[in-house]
Structure 1
């Protein structure tokens, strides 16, 4: 297991970065990120179309002693699964590592508004800030790609955005989307099962899983 505060994690990269287009869950081409927008977010919905919340329920990140406030139900199932796999397969989560819903409307990028709706998390945002790319070790990147493939494109990763933020994970569907509901059901089945599936029981380096991760990325 690689600890979280190495020199590499604070490495910055050139401001000249190349944007990568990704596919949304409907299979249509989606910009790597929405137009950058700094300042106070004033809309009633966050950048991904979820309603801005006044409060949010806290959810356990299983396997750790951490909690994170989120929109609830299906979004929470998907995002806590991301955090749980980070905890098991990349590094143990500590107090303050995972940021979810916030009432602070100040954003540096439009996608950060998704915290206002409880439909995004940031895992160690100080280690992986906006605008910095290449902070993950190769084995860690394999795990992240495997998580995204396992969640069937329902969660998008900030490392793929035009202005990257490798700590950022967001729900990439609208509320109530059938694909999100299906992924949430799958995660709940894993959580209630005998422990042979889901976080802590996966091998991200399995050739078939790596092939699935590459397929999702390339579309």
Structure 2
């Protein structure tokens, strides 16, 4: 028996398919949009509606304006501006007097805001301007380049200038190590770098890292990993927590 030929797509079907392609294209860098399965599956003879082509053109213009072409630690794209329609925007830091932090949306935002909140509650109360996220790429060197990708923060840089060690008291350092252990090692402290920068905290894993996604989700749903959530003090000297923090510290120090 011969197979029944497939029915041609209706005009409505073509328009719905084109709308789906436009949505996917707007969310991808231009080159990736053209290589995406949704785009590749279209017949070569099909002409996209003007709205679709305009959306792709806007995405291309946005990326040309914002993307530097360079990547920071973990493979995150560096951007030339924040709050300009790209992946980096100002995010609130609930429970603090901070006006907000310019961070990469999604998992980086969840993880770094949580870190800043615990720092505020458990190490030193932060004042406006004492935590900084995105910074322009020009002049950034080494691990500080993560600031330009929205995947890093500086906390109280005036108190912990680059190149200076010993800015934290032992009890503060114990809390700091506990925070890093709670975050599963996806964040590294600049105090462990060869070029010491004790105000810097940055992601060391990439956009597709499963642990990063897991940690971010745990924070978002308020799983009991650090006394329920940031702002609830925990016993950082608990034997198990201290062992986990010490083990991570050894691994990260040795990974210089």
Q: TM-score range by the shorter chain?
A: 0.7 to 0.9
Matched, 1:164 2:210: no
Specify whether residues 190 and 162 from structure 1 end up closer, same or farther in structure 2 by C-alpha distance, changes over 3 A only: same
Q: Matches of 1:47 and 1:152 in 2, distance apart?
A: 17
The runs of 5 or more residues in structure 2 that have no matched partner are 1-67, 83-87, 252-256
Aligned to 2:3: none
Q: Note if 1:86 corresponds to 2:112.
A: no
Pairing 1:154-193 to 2, within 5 Å after superposition: 154-190=186-222
Q: CA deviation at 1:211?
A: 1.1
SS state at 2:153 partner = strand
| Paired residues of 1:48 and 1:111 also in contact (CA < 8 A) | no
Query: SS at the partner of 2:201?
Result: strand
1:210 aligns with 2:242: yes
Does 1:133 pair with 2:165?
yes
State the secondary structure of the residue aligned to 2:71: coil
Q: Deviation string for 1:126-163 (max 9, x for gaps)?
A: 11111111110000000010001000001000010001
Output the TM-score relative to the length of structure 2: 0.64
In the TM superposition, 1:104-119 aligns within 5 A as: 104-107=137-140, 109-119=141-151
Alpha-carbon distance between aligned partners in 2 of 1:46 and 1:103, rounded to the nearest angstrom: 13
Q: Confirm or deny that 1:74 pairs with 2:107.
A: yes
Q: CA deviation at 1:72?
A: 1.2
Stretches of structure 1 lacking an aligned partner (at least 5 in a row): 1-41
| Structure 2 residue 223 is the aligned partner of structure 1 residue 197 | no
| Partners of 2:128 and 2:250 in 1: CA distance | 35
Match of 1:46 among 68, 72, 82: 72
Tell me the matched-pair count. Answer: 175
Structure with greater Cα Rg: 2
Mapped to 1, the partners of 2:142 and 2:178 lie a distance apart of 26
Which is richer in helix?
A: 2
Higher RCO structure (Cα 8 Å, ≥6 apart): 1
* Pairwise CA RMSD: 1.8
Matches within 5 A, 1:13-52: 44-52=70-78
**TM-score, normalising length from structure 1?**
0.75
CA offsets 1:32-68 (integer angstroms, 9 cap, x no match): xxxxxxxxxx752124421012322111112202110
